[in-house]
Structure 1
Amino acid sequence: MEQWFYICPGVPVFALGVFLLLRACWFTKRAVRVPGKVMTFKGARTHESDSRRVEFEFQTLEGRPVTAEAHLGQAGRTDVGVGDDITVMYDPNKPTRARIDKKGLRGYQIAWMTVGLGSFWLLAGIFGLMLG
């Protein structure tokens, strides 16, 4: 009976991971890439959490200046600093919805981790049902 303890949370966590993965893929495919510049960092980085966000600016293809923010994720693993030139991916329908086009900052990591966690719970529950 405890197998359902793994299956019940596994299904929604796996579904959430797939949703996040599809959303990241959709955004990456649809996004327009333009040059930009890192302006400043906001938030704090402690030994317990990393809530830093990066503020950057860029111009849309139409020439409209935009300032946007994005979560840095594993900020210690990125080479982004104030004043750095970057490539920005933005949604042409909502330019303030933008991300830095750099590995680790595109939104795929959390999606794959969520899919993996949901898969683990599902497989643990299924194997438990088969063996149990």
Structure 2
Amino acid sequence: MTAAPTGLLDTSVFIANETGRPLGELPERVAVSVITIGELRLGVLVAPDAERRARRAETLALARTADPVPISEAVMAAWAQIVADCRVAGVTRTVKLADALIAATAVEHGLPVVTQDEDFDAIAAAHPRLSVERV
């Protein structure tokens, strides 16, 4: 039996690893959202040259080893609440669809979002059920 994950890695963590940007300590057991897989796949498709495309494809393959968490009706309910809370708090301009879906996945599964993206701090300020771990 596989141990449960203790953190949901955001796309920024994979990009930091790929580009050599410093990363803090990551949780031992991690998960990723299918949204992160989609964002990384987009990076492969729009890479400006073969070298970057290959590097991004390796990053995508690494992310897929974490057994991506799908979007469910419960995740979408959490997403709707997060977006509503952000609107009430006045942070609508900084909340990107992909980030809100990753946040909702984390909330629904009781995981912190592990990220280098400060946009998650604004989401967490509006929606206290979201825990953010900066690395």
Bin of the TM-score, shorter chain as denominator length:
under 0.3
Larger Rg: 1
Give the strand-richer structure, 1 or 2.
Answer: 1
**TM-score under structure 2 normalisation?**
0.25
**TM-score under structure 1 normalisation?**
0.26
